[in-house]
Amino acid sequence: MEITVDIRPGKLRGRMEDGVAVFLGVPYAAPPFGERRFRAPEPPEPWEGVRDALAYGPTATSRGYRPPLDEILPEAVIPGEDCLNLNIWTPGLDGRRPVMVWVHGGSNRNGSNAVPLYAGGAFARDGVVMVSINYRLGVEGWAAFPDAPDNRGLLDQIAALTWVRENIEAFGGDPGNVTVFGESAGAIDIADLLAVPAARRLIRRAIIQSGGPAAAPRKKVAVTTRRIARRLGVPATAAAFAAADRERLLDAQAAVMSRSGLAGGPELGPVIDGDLVTGPPEDLVDPEIAILIGHTTEEYRLWFVPTGGVERTGPLMARLATLKMGVKGRVHRGYRALFPDARPGEVVGLMLTDRLVRLGNHRLAERRPIGNTWLYEFAWRSPQRDLGAAHAMEIPFVFDALGSSDAHMLTGTEAPQELADAMHAAWVRFASTGDPGWPAWNPSTRPTMVFDTPSTVIENHRADVHALWR
């Protein structure tokens, strides 16, 4: 059954699926190509008549994940230039329901809102209007040019949130009750948006999954941009990049970024530009916005296990990796003592997980008002490919989508539905009420909800690990 809604740009035709109204591929900004290439997003052109919103729209330019990650994190590739679009799932067009806006991950170079795992039907089933967005990736969204605005990916996300503020009421959503949630690069982008005045007014709550506030000095991303320009044989300007063949541009980006790794290297992502992001975002996060933040226990396993990194890392290589990360020898020795059965590569991975995610979560919580921040850890271990509690493993549980083929790539076919019930309900409750269902973080007991079978709240969770880094 089809359903029509009237919004500012024009009328949209969606459809009903299992009692949920679905609108797909809705433009929130004009296509960022032609004269708009490498520019700030502009409003979409209004349309006459009724526009179909029955299929996912074009995805942002991307080369996709390299093997073997492409088998674990499948991509959706839909050609077309109208890639600044969003999807909406809603229980109905009446009322003012809480709104959740999903910002996908993918190192700001991969991913899209058309990945089937990100469908929002379960959220709409439970009374939430869910929106998923695209934004420009790679050099299109993040390269630093002298003749183009920086942080175009963040500007896209702000444009999408502005569209939600202006139009979501027509879909039964409350424009004053918007929770942004995202994972990995999406989580980093969200945390940075909480430091941007133009975005903060559009957000009431935020869920930050396996990420945190981080923006590079502009000169670091400018160096990456120049390296890509040298590969192309053109000046490092937006005008020169716009004139380059798009496939050659992707080839050059892939060649330069192949040297990037979890411990450092070339970077494409948010920058401190002095305009949108005016300083270190961890210093500027709005204390009034409620935050749910967490990570998986073994983030590193997504990158270290499928590629054979754990098996290849012996004691000497582990020590060299520790030095490259700038980790003190006593910290490394402490991890080896705390995890005596872990292989050298696993010890390095655990340190990397904590250094990049866990410690940052706690530092952010410590700087915020008491009662406004909740911490979680996802600890359930998947048997699939020996991934364990790897990066991205929580996503199928959050979306209550364990039955999807995309989820099976991560979780296998026997993942516990009761854990999905618990996580999904916590996300819905937080978006609806501002309380996910366990005590907020405080400096005396530091409670963390550990999602597993069973799930439980643990005070001063992993205090022995944190003590190593002090």
Q: How many CB atoms lie within 10 A of CB 72?
A: 19
Q: Name the catalytic one among 362, 391, 424, 461.
A: 391
What's the number of CA atoms in the CB half-sphere (13 Å) around residue 24?
22
Is 282 marked active-site?
no
Our answer to whether residue 444 is catalytic in this structure is: no
Q: Are 132 and 120 in contact (CB under 8 A)?
A: yes
Only one residue has tokens 């896209």, namely 156
- At residue 292, the 3 state secondary structure works out as strand
457/461 Cα distance (integer angstroms)? 9
User: Rg of the chain's alpha carbons, rounded to an integer?
Assistant: 21
Cα distances (Å, whole numbers) of residue 441 to 296, 344, 447: 18, 33, 6
Q: 3-class SS at 276? A: coil
Residue 65: other Cβ atoms inside 10 A: 18
CA dihedral of 336, 341, 345, 349, whole degrees rounded to 10: -70
What is the distance between the alpha carbons of residues 93 and 91, in angstroms, rounded to a whole number? 7
Coil vs helix vs strand at 364: helix
d(CA 19, CA 91): 7
Task: Please name the helix (run of DSSP H) or strand (run of DSSP E) that holds residue 222, with its range, or none.
Answer: helix 218-232
Exposure letters 416-450 (e unless 16+ CB within 10 A, then b): eeebbebbbebbbebbbebebebbbbeeeebbbbb
What does the block give as tokens for 264? 């450092």
Backbone φ and ψ of 461, nearest 5° = -60, 130
Residues near 230 by Cβ (< 8 Å), separated by ≥ 6?
A: none
Unique residue bearing structure tokens 């003592």: 337
| Residue 75 bears catalytic tag | no
Which one of the listed residues 169, 282, 299, 346 is annotated catalytic? 299
Q: Cα 396 from chain centroid?
A: 14
Catalytic residue of the set 112, 184, 382, 455: 184
| CB atoms closer than 10 angstroms to residue 161 | 26
Q: Are 207 and 181 in contact (CB under 8 A)?
A: yes
Three-state DSSP at 452 gives coil
Q: Which helix (H) or strand (E) holds 186?
A: helix 185-193
Work out the burial of residue 134: count CB atoms within 10 Å of its CB; fewer than 13 is exposed, 13-18 middle, 19 or more buried: buried
Q: Which residues are catalytically annotated? A: 184, 299, 391
